[in-house]
Amino acid sequence: MNSPHMNNRPGRGAASAPILPNSSIISSRDTKAMSAFTYTSAPHRIVFGSGTLNSLTKELRGAGCKRSLVLSTPFQKNDAEELAAVLGSACAGVFANAAMHTPVEVTEQAIQVFSNSGADSIVAYGGGSTVGLGKALAFRTGCTQIVIPTTYAGSEVTPILGQTENGKKTTTRDPKILPDIVIYDPKLSATLPVKMSIASGLNAMAHAVEALYAKDRNPISSLMANEGLRSLKSALKSIYETPDNEKARSEALYGAWLCGSVLGAVGMSLHHKLCHTLGGSFDLPHAETHAILLPHTAAYNQIEAKDELKYATKLFGGNLGSGLHSFAQSIEAPLALADLGMPKRAIDTAAKLATENPYWNPRQVDLAGIHDLLTRAWEGIPPEQSKVQK
């Protein structure tokens, strides 16, 4: 795999934009006059490569950290404790209660443990749940945060925090939320179950698709989004066929970094609104919900964003919604919200919640259209072809 040039300056330096090797992506951009745009590069450090977990102690020292609290979910507690043992006296303890959708009550428990431990930093080891907890802690305490991702969600490179309280999920965007250091070690995702790998990768791809038609998109974010889609499409197919393929695992992490980076660089629209509504209100699993909704939200918005989605549409066979659905089906990804435990009667509530507050989207968001979208996603059937091709 052709790796991007990573930022190698200590601490919070301005991260360099990646070098994207795929010439077909670069040449696919329209040759119209360049519009004015603004691009802000994320100020954090990326350490990428097989075996880079071994650099954790060095990275902590370089960031001026003396004692770190290690975070994980209960499922990855043993891994977190092994990591704590490696850190030795530089570890202030382990908090292994990270939970999906970052419940505020769990964050409050973690803050108490952090305060009592004498830690000056946190090391979040795992997927989106642990990353979310780390962000919430850092946002409230101002501590240094280091993330070691073991999935492909990409949230570790965004200044965005989604939290759940009293059954409602809210989102906060702030530079203080962005992790300081991210260590990408493909070896750590080698044993990630195939189903989790696929759902996580499709979650990341959803960030890229929405970035392509974002109101504040720019040429750099679009290049990154298209390359992220290409990388993850290739990687997920290989992981499905050969789960221990380290090259594919590495390419998946690369794609996740790109997709997460564009999520942090531009605004999101319908897809993320729906996922937050379903996740916060009905406690549906985060990655699987993103994976199921992606073909349907892409089809809904493709009607008004054909030019912006031109490369992605070609990548998935000429029709983005049905192409994404067929791809998901070919790698046995989740397809139906019903299979996640969402009752059919919840469709009405979800459609109303998702449309009650106006927000920007390339296509007008209307109750009937969203109800139809959610119904098809609940049943697990492809997006309606006739609507996509208008």
Task: Give the pLDDT of residue 385.
Answer: 59
Bridge-based pairing of strands 160-165 and 168-173 is: antiparallel
- Give the CA distances from residue 104 to residues 7, 168, 169, 285, in Å, rounded to whole numbers and listed in that order: 33, 11, 10, 17
Task: Give the pLDDT of residue 43.
Answer: 75
Task: Give the pLDDT of residue 33.
Answer: 60
- Closest CA relative to residue 347, chosen from 336, 358, 357: 336
- 9-30 burial code (b ≥16 CB/10 A, e <16): eeebeebebbebeeeebeebee
Tens of pLDDT along the chain (390 residues) come to: 333 333 333 344 334 334 444 545 544 444 456 778 887 776 789 999 999 999 999 999 999 999 999 999 999 999 999 999 999 999 999 999 999 989 999 999 999 999 999 999 999 999 999 999 999 999 999 999 999 999 998 999 999 999 998 878 888 999 999 999 999 999 999 989 999 999 999 999 999 999 999 999 999 999 999 999 999 999 999 999 999 999 999 999 999 999 999 998 999 999 999 998 998 889 899 999 999 999 999 999 999 999 999 999 999 999 999 999 999 999 999 999 999 999 999 999 999 999 998 899 999 999 999 999 999 999 999 997 534 443
3-state secondary structure of 329: helix
Q: Which helix (H) or strand (E) holds 189?
A: none
